[in-house]
C-alpha cells in the first residue's frame, strides 16, 4: 500500500477537521487509552439512552490516520444500539477509509479509537449489566484487536 | 536406525567449529554441552542476515527496516510459544538466560507475594541460579528456604516435599526438570500435582530439558518456566521466561524503562500490555532472531529423534565408563530417568587434573562444581568430571574420551 | 578535511546494510542512529568468528575453547575500560544495555541506600529508562523523585539542582550526558562538581554520548556511568555499567546465580570478586566480543574525528532544515552544545505521517515520543520527528531528507 | 606447556602426600579462601613467634597443582620472618615446580594458597600492627595476585 493510497484527500481533511471531536460533559461513560509505542492518545465520551448511543465524541492527540479513523468510527457508532456498536469490526472502520492493507505499526494508529470504544462499552456494561461473562468477552476482544 | 544415524552424520557438517583442531593438532571432541552448545551455520547465518539486511530498533518506528526487524523479533516469540506449547504468546518473555528468568520471578513475583515465615522449596540438585535468588529473597523477607533431599540414586525424596507442603506455609516449589550434574529427570508430574493439590505455585528450570526432549508447558502444568537459548544451539545472551497469564497479570514490573510503559508522567506511570511490560529497554533483537533459527533447526530434526540419539549415546557411554577401573559414576543408571549428562570421578585424581590431561587430546569436558555446590556437599565430593552430549556427538567421540582416560591413569599411576 | 571526507566515504563500504534498497527500490537513508546504529562487517565478522571458532562457556573450564572464549571476553572488558578511561577494569560490568544498567543501580545500590523522604533528582529531558526505575524505587521507599527543569533552548536550569541539593536530602543526581531528543550536551562538569560539593552521588546516562564523542569517566568524576553497545556499532543485547570501586564494593548483588558466587551452601553464600559478583549466569559472550570489535573500529577512526564529522553534518542539517517553511526545530542551535540529533515538527502534520510519507522515499527517521514523554509534556507536543546521524551519514543523505519533506508538504497541502 | 611437563613426578607425589598438611590448633592466625570458579578451597594456619613463622599448615580440597603448590609454599614460608614471607612471589612458588607457563585458569589453582597466605598475613598484621597503609597494600597485593 503506497502513501499515495493512504494519504488521500479524505484522510487529510478529517485530520484537519475531525468529526465528533470534543467532550460530552454529562457523558454516561468515558474511556481513555493510548498507544504505548507512539504516544497517540484518545478519549471517547458517550451518552447512552434506551440502549442506544445517543451521542459520542472523542478527543486526544494522534496522527492523521488516527484522527480520520476516530472521526469515521464515531460517525458509524452514533445512533446505533449497543449490540450494533459491539459488532463494529476493524474492517468497518478501515474499509470506510480504504485502509485495509495498512502496515502493522500503523494499524495500531487506525484502531486505537475502536479499542477505546470497545473498552468504554465494557466499562459501561460492567456497571449496568450483570452478565459478567459477556463483559469479559468484550474486554478480551478489545485487548486482542491488534 | 541406519538412516537416523546417517542424518546425524550430516548434522556435523552444519557446525563449523567441529572441524577445528585444538592444542597440538587434535580434533576437537566437544563434550561440554550442558554448559553451552555449539551453533550451526543456520543460526550464525540468521544473526548475520539480521545485521546485514534488517537491523533496526523494534516496535516504535514506521520505516521499512523497523517493520522487518519487529516482524522477525515477534516471529521468534511465536516459534518459542509453539516449541514448548504455549497457547498465549504474550506469556513468553525474552530475558538473557535462565538466571535472569529466575531472578525476574524472585523480584517481580517474590517480593510482593512472600512474607515472614513463608517457605520456598527447592532441591539439593539445583543449579546456583535456582538457589541463590531464593536465598536473597527469603533473607530479605524473613522467610525460609528448604530443600527436597535426594537419594543415592540421584532421585528426589518426595516425602520431603509432602512434609513442607503440610506446613501450609509454602508459596513456591522450584526444581529443575533435568539436573545439570546428575542428568536426573525430575518426576515433574508428581511434584506439580502435589503442589496443585496444595494450592502452591511451581517454577520449573528447563535449562537442561528444553534442548534435549519434547517439553510441553501446558501438559506440565507449572506456573513459571525458564530456559536458555545458548544451551539449545542458540546464541548467548538470550533466554525465555514463561509465566502463566493469570499470574503474569498480577505481577508488578521488574525493570523500568523504554517499551514497558504505556504513559510516563513525572510522578506516575502506567504499564504496557504483556509481554512488553517485562521487556524494558532495547532487547537483544539479533539473538532473539538467532534463537528462532535454532528452534527451526531442532524442530526439523524432531525432539523425539534428538532424545533417542542422546539415549543411544548415553547408554553407550555409561556402559564404556563403567568398565574403566576406579571410575565412579553418579546418578541413576536407568536411562529412562536420565538425560545426556554423566558426572564421574576417576580414582583419587582431581577432576581438574582429569580435564586438563584429556584436553591435551582435544577432549573438552567440564570439571568442578558445575554451579551446584549444594549437590557437591550432598555427594561429599569437592568436584566431579562431567561429559554431556548433544545432537552432533558420536560414539567415536565417546571412545576417544575413554581412550584419553588411559592417559590419566598412566600419568597418575592408577 | 579532504582526506577526512574521503575516509568517511570508505566507511560506508564497511556497512553492508547501506547497500540495501527499501520499499519501491529506494536507496536506504538511515537517519535513526540515536535509536540504534548499523553494524560494520568487522563487528558482524567478530561475532561470526566467535561462534565458528571459539564458542564455549567462560571462566570455569580448563579446555582450549573455554580458555580462548574467556580471553576474548576479558579482552573486551579491557577495551571498554580503555575506551572510557577506566583505571580499574573490575569496575566494568557487562549488562544488556543502558536500561539494565540503570535498573541494576536502582536495585543493588538504591534499595540499600534510599530511605523515606530522601530525594533522587533527574531531569526533564531524560529517557524513560532514567525515570521509571527511579519512580519504582522512590515509590517503594517513600522517597521523592524531583526534576531539574529545562529552558526553551533545551538546556537544564541548574538553579533547580541547587534548590534540591540545599534540602540536604538528595541521595543521587542522575542525568544524560546527551539528550536523545534535543541533542543537548549537559553541563556535566558543573552538575557533578555541585553534587560532589554536596556529597551527593551522580549517575550519568552516556547512551547518546559514548558513541559520538570522547568520554573520560575519570575526568567526568561521576559515580555511575551507563551506555549501550547497539548505539555504537555494537551488537544488540550488550551494554556497560561502570561503578566507582569504592561504591561497587559496598553494593549487595543484584541477580543471584552462577559465576557471581564464591561459595554456596544451603543457607548461606559468599560472593565472588568484582566484577563477577554482578555478572550472574552465562553472559552474552559473543556480543561482548562483538562490542570489543566495535570499540576497535571507533578507536581506529578516532572519537574526535567522529565528533567533527557529526558537527559538520548537524550544522549542515540545521541550516537546511531551518530553511523549510513551517518546520520547527527543538533545542539549541549552538553546535558546541549539541550532539547529532535533531528533533522537529513540520507545520500541523503529525510526526507519524511525516515519517511514513518519507519512508516511502527510503528515508528512515524516528517519530513519536522517543521514550521521553516527560519532555514531550514539557515541550507541549504529542510527538516529534527526529533525525540522528552517525559516521556513515553524508550531506547527500541530508539533502534527500529535505527533498522528501517536499513530498509531505505536497500531500498535506502546506 | 604440555601436560607431560606439568604433571611430573613431583606434582603427583605432592598431590598424594602433601607436606605440611593439617591444622594447627593453637594458631596465631588462620585464613580461608576458595576459588569461586572451580571450588578449590584452602585454609592456612600459622604460628608466629618473634616475627617469624614458626609453624605453618594447610588443609582443604584442590587439584594436584593446588596441593603441590600449597606444599611447596608452606615449605618455603616455614621459619622465615614476616618480611621475607611478604616477599614470597608467584615465581618463587611456580618456579619450584616448573610451572611458570601454566595457562590462566590453572594459575588460579597454583596460586590460591599464596593468596590465602598473603591474606592471612594481612589479617595478622591488621591485628598486631597499626601501619594500616601497609596492610592495605598487602590486601591489594593478595587481591591482584591473578
Ligand atoms: C539446570 C540449570 N539451570 C540454570 C542454568 C543457568 O543458565 P544460564 O547460565 O544460561 O543463565 C544452567 C546452566 O548453566 C543449568 O544447567
Ligand atoms: C539517553 C538514553 N538513555 C537510555 C536509553 C536506553 O538504552 P537501551 O534501550 O539500550 O537500554 C537510550 C536509548 O534508547 C537513550 O537514548
pLDDT digit string, tens, across residues B176-216: 999 999 999 999 999 999 999 999 999 999 999 999 999 99
Question: Which residues does chain D have with pLDDT short of 50?
Answer: none
What integer pLDDT is reported at residue A130 of this predicted model?
Answer: 63
- Which of C123, C131, C208, C228 to mutate to test ligand 2, by most ligand atoms within 8 A of the CB atom? C228
Q: Kindly tell me whether chain A and chain D come into contact, counting contact as 3+ Cβ pairs under 8 Å.
A: no
Q: Whose atoms come closest to the Cα of C208: which ligand?
A: 2
pLDDT tens sequence across C113-122: 999 999 999 9
The reply to whether ligand 2 has any atom less than 6 angstroms from the CB of C129 is yes
User: CA D48 to CA C41: how far, in whole Å?
Assistant: 61
Q: Is B315 in the pocket of ligand 2 (CB under 6 A)?
A: no
C94 and C109 housed in the same domain:
yes
Q: Which of B257, B273, B299 is the last residue of a domain?
A: B299
How far away, in angstroms, is C77 Cα from ligand 2 center? 21
Asked if chain D contacts chain C via 3 or more Cβ pairs within 8 Å, the reply is yes
Q: Residue D41's pLDDT is what?
A: 93
Give chain A positions within 8 Å (CB) of B63.
none
User: Does the structure show a pLDDT above 70 at C258?
Assistant: yes
Return the higher-pLDDT residue of B62 and B6. B62
Place of cell 495500531: A108
Q: Mean of the pLDDT values across residues C59-85?
A: 95
Determine whether the interchain pair B235/C286 forms a contact, defined as Cβ–Cβ distance below 8 Å. yes
Please tell me if residue C24 touches chain A, with a CB cutoff of 8 Å: yes
Which chains form contacts with chain A, at 3 or more CB pairs under 8 Å?
B, C
Q: Given ligand 1 and candidates B34, B98, B182, which is best to mutate, with the most ligand atoms within 8 Å of its CB?
A: B98
Residue B253 CB partners (closer than 8 Å, separation 6+): B108, B260, B271, B277, B278, B280, C136
Question: Residue B371 CA: which ligand 1 atom is closest?
Answer: 14
Average confidence (pLDDT) over C279-295: 98
B304 has pLDDT over 50: yes
pLDDT at A131: 64
pTM of the model: 0.96
Ligand nearest to the CA of B60: 2
In the predicted model, what is the mean pLDDT of residues C36-53? 98
User: Which CATH number do you get for residue C22?
Assistant: 3.90.1150.10
Which stretches of chain A drop beneath a pLDDT of 70?
Answer: 1, 129-133
pLDDT of residue C2: 44
Site to probe by mutation for ligand 2, drawn from B282, B284, B286 as the one with most ligand atoms within 8 Å of Cβ, is B282
- Based on the domain organization, do C95 and C111 belong to the same domain? yes
Q: Are residues C99 and C238 in the same domain?
A: yes
B136-185 pLDDT tens trace: 999 999 999 999 999 999 999 999 999 999 999 999 999 999 999 999 99
Protein residue closest via CA to atom 16 of ligand 2: C180
pLDDT in tens, C198-213: 999 999 999 999 999 9
The whole-angstrom separation of Cα C130 and Cα C96 is 15
Largest CA distance in chain B: 72
User: Which residue of chain C comes nearest to B112, CA vs CA?
Assistant: C140
pLDDT at C157 over 90: yes
- The predicted structure's pLDDT at residue B7: 75
Reported as a single tens digit per residue, the pLDDT across B204-260 is 999 999 999 999 999 999 999 999 999 999 999 999 999 999 999 999 999 999 999
Contact flag C62-D34 (C-beta cutoff 8 Å): no
Residues B278 and B326 in one domain: no
Q: Is C217 on the interface with A (CB under 8 A)?
A: no
Residues of D in contact with B351 (CB under 8 A): 63
pLDDT of residue C139: 97
Q: How far apart are CA C202 and CA A128, in angstroms?
A: 53
Distance CA C412, CA C217 (A): 47
Give me the number of domains chain C comprises. 2
- Residues C242, C358, single domain; the answer is no
> What average pLDDT score do residues C215-244 get?
98
> Which tens digits make up the pLDDT trace of C352-381?
999 999 999 999 999 999 999 999 999 999
Q: Would residue C222 show up in a list of annotated catalytic residues for this protein?
A: no
Determine phi and psi for B204, rounding to 5 degrees.
-110, 125
| Cα B210 to ligand 1 centre (Å) | 12
Dihedral angle of Cα A75, A80, A83, A88, to the nearest 10 degrees: -20
Q: In this predicted model, what pLDDT tens digit does every residue of C175-198 receive, in sequence order?
A: 999 999 999 999 999 999 999 999
B152 reaches A (C-beta below 8 A):
no
Q: Does residue C3 surpass a pLDDT of 70?
A: no
- Following DSSP, what letter does each residue of A87-98 receive, concatenated? T--HHHHHHHTT
Interface contact A34, partner B, CB < 8 A:
yes
Domain of B235: which CATH number? 3.40.640.10
Cβ proximity of C51 and B39 under 8 Å: yes
- C24 and C94 fall within a common domain: no
Q: Could you say which ligand is closest to the alpha carbon of residue C211?
A: 2
DSSP 8-state code for residue D81: B
What is the CATH number assigned to the segment(s) A3-143? 3.90.1010.10
Domain map of chain A by residue range? 3-143
Chain C residues touching residue A38 (CB < 8 angstroms): 352, 367-369, 383
| List C371, C374, C376, C381, catalytic entry | C371
pLDDT at C114: 98
Residue of chain A whose Cα is closest to the Cα of B269: A36
C262 with C329, same domain: the answer is no
CB D43 within 8 A of CB D32: yes
* Alpha carbon of A45 to ligand 2 centroid (Å): 36
Domain end point (choices C252, C281, C299)? C299
> What is the band of C1 on the pLDDT scale with cuts at 50, 70, 90?
very low
* Interval C336-359: pLDDT, tens: 999 999 999 999 999 999 999 999
Residues B138 and B208 in one domain: yes
Within 8 A of B64 by CB-CB distance, chain C residues are 22-23, 28, 359, 362, 364
**Which of B247, B275, B299 is where one domain is finished?**
B299
Instruction: Report the mean per-residue pLDDT for chain C.
Output: 96
* B388 alpha carbon – ligand 1 mean position (Å): 14
Is C281 found in the same domain as C340? no
Mean pLDDT of B36-48: 98
CB distance C180 to ligand 2 below 6 Å: yes
Give the neighbours of chain C: at least 3 Cβ pairs within 8 Å. Answer: A, B, D
Co-location of C67 and C209 in the same domain? yes
Query: Which residue lies with its CA nearest to atom 7 of ligand 1?
Result: B98
CA dist., res. C285 & res. C58, Å (int):
8
The domain of B74 spans 45-299
Q: Which bound ligand lies closest to the C-alpha atom of B234? A: 1
Q: In D, which residues are within 8 Å of B376 by CB distance?
A: 39
- Grid cell at residue C114: 534510599
Task: Flag if B350 and D106 touch (Cβ within 8 Å).
Answer: no
Q: Which cell goes with B392?
A: 552432533
Per DSSP, helices labelled H in C249-372 are 285-301, 303-322, 351-359
Residues of chain C neighbouring B44 (CB-CB closer than 8 A):
48, 51-52
How far apart CA C194 and CA C201 sit, in angstroms, is 10
Residues 97-116 (A) with a CB less than 8 A from some CB of C? 106, 109
A37 Cβ under 8 Å from any chain B Cβ: yes
pLDDT of B1 above 50 = no
Taking residue B296's Cβ as centre, other Cβ atoms within 10 Å add up to 16
Amino acid at each position: 500500500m503506497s502513501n499515495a493510497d493512504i494519504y488521500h484527500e479524505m484522510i487529510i481533511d478529517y485530520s484537519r477537521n475531525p468529526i465528533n471531536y470534543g467532550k460530552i460533559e454529562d457523558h454516561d461513560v468515558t474511556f481513555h487509552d493510548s498507544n504505548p509505542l507512539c504516544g497517540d492518545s484518545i478519549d471517547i465520551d458517550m451518552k447512552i439512552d434506551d440502549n442506544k448511543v445517543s451521542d459520542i465524541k472523542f478527543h486526544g492527540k494522534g496522527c492523521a490516520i488516527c484522527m480520520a479513523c476516530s472521526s469515521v468510527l464515531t460517525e458509524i457508532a452514533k445512533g446505533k444500539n449497543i449490540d450494533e456498536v459491539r459488532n463494529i469490526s476493524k474492517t468497518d472502520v478501515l474499509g470506510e477509509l480504504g485502509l485495509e492493507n495498512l502496515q502493522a505499526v500503523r494499524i495500531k494508529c487506525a484502531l486505537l479509537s475502536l479499542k477505546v470504544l470497545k473498552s468504554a462499552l465494557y466499562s459501561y456494561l460492567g456497571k449496568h449489566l450483570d452478565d459478567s461473562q459477556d463483559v469479559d468477552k468484550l474486554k478480551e476482544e478489545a485487548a486482542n484487536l491488534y | 536406525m541406519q538412516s537416523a544415524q546417517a542424518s546425524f552424520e550430516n548434522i556435523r557438517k552444519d557446525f563449523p567449529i567441529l572441524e577445528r583442531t585444538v592444542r597440538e593438532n587434535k580434533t576437537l571432541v566437544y563434550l561440554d554441552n550442558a554448559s553451552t552448545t555449539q551453533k550451526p551455520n543456520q543460526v550464525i547465518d540468521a544473526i548475520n542476515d539480521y545485521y546485514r539486511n534488517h537491523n533496526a530498533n523494534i516496535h516504535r518506528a514506521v520505516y521499512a527496516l523497523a517493520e522487518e526487524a519487529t516482524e522477525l523479533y515477534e516471529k521468534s516469540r511465536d516459534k518459542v510459544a509453539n516449541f514448548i506449547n504455549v497457547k498465549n504468546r504474550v506469556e513468553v518473555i525474552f530475558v538473557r538466560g535462565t538466571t535472569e528468568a529466575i531472578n525476574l520471578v524472585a523480584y517481580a513475583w517474590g517480593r510482593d507475594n512472600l512474607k515472614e515465615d513463608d517457605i520456598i522449596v527447592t532441591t539439593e540438585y539445583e543449579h546456583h541460579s535456582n538457589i541463590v535468588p531464593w536465598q536473597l529473597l527469603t533473607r530479605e523477607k524473613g522467610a525460609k528456604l528448604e530443600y527436597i533431599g535426594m537419594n543415592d540414586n540421584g532421585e528426589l525424596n518426595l516425602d520431603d516435599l509432602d512434609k513442607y507442603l503440610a506446613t501450609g506455609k509454602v508459596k513456591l516449589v522450584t526444581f529443575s526438570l533435568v539436573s545439570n550434574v546428575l542428568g536426573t529427570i525430575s518426576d515433574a508430574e508428581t511434584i506439580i500435582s502435589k503442589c496443585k493439590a496444595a494450592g502452591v505455585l511451581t517454577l520449573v528450570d528447563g535449562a537442561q530439558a528444553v534442548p534435549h526432549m519434547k517439553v510441553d508447558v501446558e501438559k506440565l502444568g507449572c506456573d513459571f518456566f525458564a530456559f536458555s537459548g545458548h544451551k539449545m544451539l542458540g546464541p548467548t545472551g538470550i533466554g525465555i521466561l514463561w509465566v502463566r497469564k493469570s499470574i503474569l497479570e498480577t505481577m508488578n514490573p521488574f525493570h523500568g524503562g523504554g517499551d514497558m510503559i504505556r504513559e510516563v508522567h513525572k510522578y506516575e506511570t502506567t504499564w504496557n500490555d504483556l509481554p512488553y511490560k517485562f521487556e524494558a529497554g532495547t532487547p537483544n533483537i539479533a539473538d532473539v532472531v538467532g534463537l528462532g533459527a535454532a528452534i527451526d533447526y531442532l524442530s526439523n530434526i524432531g525432539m523425539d529423534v534428538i532424545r533417542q540419539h542422546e539415549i543411544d549415546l548415553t547408554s553407550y557411554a555409561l556402559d564404556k565408563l563403567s568398565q574403566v577401573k576406579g571410575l565412579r559414576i553418579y546418578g541413576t543408571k536407568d536411562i529412562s530417568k536420565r538425560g545426556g549428562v554423566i558426572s564421574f570421578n576417576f580414582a583419587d585424581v582431581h577432576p581438574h587434573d582429569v580435564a586438563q590431561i584429556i584436553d591435551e587430546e582435544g577432549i573438552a569436558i567440564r570439571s568442578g562444581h558445575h554451579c551446584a555446590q549444594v549437590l557437591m556437599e550432598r555427594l561429599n565430593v569437592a568436584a566431579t568430571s562431567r561429559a554431556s552430549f548433544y545432537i552432533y556427538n558420536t560414539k567415536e567421540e565417546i571412545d576417544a574420551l575413554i581412550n584419553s582416560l588411559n592417559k590419566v591413569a598412566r600419568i597418575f599411576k592408577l
